[in-house]
């Protein structure tokens, strides 16, 4: 049997501070009604001053390692587009703080598709024997790059982290990652961007103020591309693994907007109830979105071992990606359930 990467642990973390739609409406020209009806989001969690992406990643990573019943991996891959610093990568610090000093550790940048890209990277390194066990984390403190005056982006994004542990196993085991589809379209890089802070701006000179230092997004074009690419990518990975849409139990899609998720379900001929939904409680948490949704669905008892699961993501780049697996029996730590209770706190 072919050597494959198998999911064997799952953890998540969101920072404790909750920002409701009502509290956003106190400082911006928006309303709970607008945000709920246009996005499905009721609240999001945001970091306090001084808290960075690595802090979220360490918490989620620790929980995923406990869930897997191990404190040993030989690879850490961190998906993020809000690293603690432009240089170096954040993953080595996360590894060190988890007691994993010395292991291979690097960041993957694919914005909201980052977790799927990181999962594929780690699965590939396991498949070719470079690693036996990997910790794959998606973490973003996206609130730190939002324009405080931008009602559109502040309504959508939240902070958080999710993580899985992969181990070497075989393709016939539950939890085995059976197939991936990954893609990009750099012609539309400007739809989702932070213009300043990179080599383009630095080599051109001028003050950061002359460049946009905050995250910008062209919402309508992003919406259209998200539906198109997640639908196409999911269909591709289903074809690759030989599943028909009616054999899928759950679609765990990037939590961008409930209207995007429903449109993807409609395109694929899935029941809208088969799409895992937690964006109402956490918003769009970028690279953390898919593992956080997986975690919440598993903690709620919705994901049953043996079920057929498809993960699909879309994000800046543009990038997109999907993965298919049968859900494994994963033990979640009691802390995970406490976390879920926290997530389900009503406004």
Pick from 123, 226, 311, 330 the residue near ligand COA by CB under 6 A.
Answer: 226
Q: Per-residue contact track with ligand COA, 45 to 74, x per CB under 6 A?
A: ------------------------------
318 preceded by cis ω (within 30°)?
yes
CB of 226 to ligand COA, least distance (A): 5
Q: Which of 8, 112, 295, 339 is catalytic?
A: 112
Alpha helices in 69-150 (DSSP H): 91-97, 114-127
Q: Which of 8, 21, 254, 339 is catalytic?
A: 254
Q: Which runs of E-coded beta strand occur in the chain?
A: 3-13, 18-20, 43-45, 75-79, 104-108, 133-140, 160-170, 177-184, 192-193, 216-217, 250-253, 308-315, 319-326
Positions 315 through 344 that interact with ligand COA (CB under 6 A): 315
Pick from 20, 144, 152, 184 the residue near ligand COA by CB under 6 A.
Answer: 152
Pick from 220, 244, 301, 334 the residue near ligand COA by CB under 6 A.
Answer: 220
3-state SS, residue 292: helix
Distance CA 228, CA 300 (A): 29
Distance CA 241, CA 239 (A): 6
Is 21 one of the catalytic residues?
no
# chain residues binding ligand COA, by CB under 6 A: 22
Q: What is the DSSP letter of 71?
A: S
Pick from 6, 14, 35, 146 the residue near ligand COA by CB under 6 A.
Answer: 35
Q: Per-residue contact track with ligand COA, 251 to 290, x per CB under 6 A?
A: -----xx--x-----------------------x------
Query: Could you tell me which stretch among 131-139, 161-169, 217-225, 334-342 binds ligand COA (CB under 6 A)?
Result: 217-225
Choose among 323, 115, 171: nearest CA to 233: 323
Does 39 sit near ligand COA (CB under 6 A)?
yes
CB nearer to ligand COA: give 135 or 261.
261
Q: Dihedral of CA 231/234/237/239: which sign? A: negative
CA atoms within 13 A of residue 306's CA, in its CB half-sphere: 0
Positions 87 through 126 that interact with ligand COA (CB under 6 A): 112
Is 225 one of the catalytic residues?
no
Measured from each CB, the residue nearest to ligand COA is 219
Q: Which of 284, 295, 336, 339 is catalytic?
A: 284
Is 112 one of the catalytic residues?
yes
CB of 43 to ligand COA, least distance (A): 14
Q: Dihedral of CA 295/137/119/227: which sign? A: positive
CB nearer to ligand COA: give 255 or 339.
255
CB of 321 to ligand COA, least distance (A): 12
Cβ neighbours around 195 below 10 Å, total: 16
Positions 153 through 182 that interact with ligand COA (CB under 6 A): 155-156
Helix axes 258-268, 219-241, angle to 10 degrees: 40
Q: What is the DSSP string of 219-241?
A: HHHHHHHHHHHHHHHHHHHHHHH
Cβ neighbours around 162 below 10 Å, total: 32
- Active-site amino acid positions: 112, 254, 284
Q: Which residues bind ligand COA (CB under 6 A)?
A: 30, 34-35, 38-39, 112, 151-152, 155-156, 217, 219-220, 222-223, 226, 256-257, 260, 284, 314-315
């Amino acid at each position: 049997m072919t050597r494959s990467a198998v999911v064997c642990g799952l953890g998540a973390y969101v920072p404790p501070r909750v920002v409701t739609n009502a509290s956003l409406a106190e400082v911006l020209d928006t309303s709970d009604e607008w945000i709920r009806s246009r996005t499905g989001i009721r609240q999001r969690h945001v970091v306090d001053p001084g808290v960075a992406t690595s802090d979220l990643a360490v918490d989620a990573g620790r929980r995923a390692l406990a869930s897997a019943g191990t404190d040993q991996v030989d690879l850490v891959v961190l998906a993020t587009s809000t690293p603690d610093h432009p240089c170096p990568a954040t993953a080595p610090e996360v590894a060190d703080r988890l007691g994993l000093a010395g292991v291979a550790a690097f960041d993957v940048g694919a914005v909201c598709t980052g977790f799927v890209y990181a999962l594929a990277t780690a699965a590939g390194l396991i498949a070719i024997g470079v690693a036996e066990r990997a910790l794959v984390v998606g973490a973003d403190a996206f609130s730190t790059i939002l324009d405080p005056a931008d009602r559109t982006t502040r309504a959508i994004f939240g902070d958080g982290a999710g993580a899985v542990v992969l181990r070497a196993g075989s393709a016939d085991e539950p939890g085995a990652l059976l197939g991936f589809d990954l893609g990009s379209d750099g012609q539309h890089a400007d739809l989702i961007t932070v213009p300043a802070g990179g080599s383009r701006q630095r080599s051109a000179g001028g003050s950061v103020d002359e460049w946009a230092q905050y995250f910008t997004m062209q919402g309508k074009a992003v919406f259209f591309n998200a539906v198109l690419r997640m639908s196409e990518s999911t269909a591709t990975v289903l074809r690759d693994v030989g599943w028909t849409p009616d054999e899928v139990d759950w679609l765990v899609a990037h939590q961008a907007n409930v209207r995007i998720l429903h449109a993807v379900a409609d395109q694929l001929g899935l029941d809208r109830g088969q799409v895992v939904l937690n964006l109402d409680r956490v918003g769009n948490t970028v690279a953390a979105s898919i593992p956080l949704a997986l975690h919440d669905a598993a903690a709620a008892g919705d994901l049953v071992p043996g079920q057929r699961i498809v993960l699909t993501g879309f994000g800046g780049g543009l990038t997109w990606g999907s993965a298919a697996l049968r859900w494994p029996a994963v033990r979640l730590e009691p802390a995970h359930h406490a976390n879920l209770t926290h997530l389900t706190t009503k406004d």
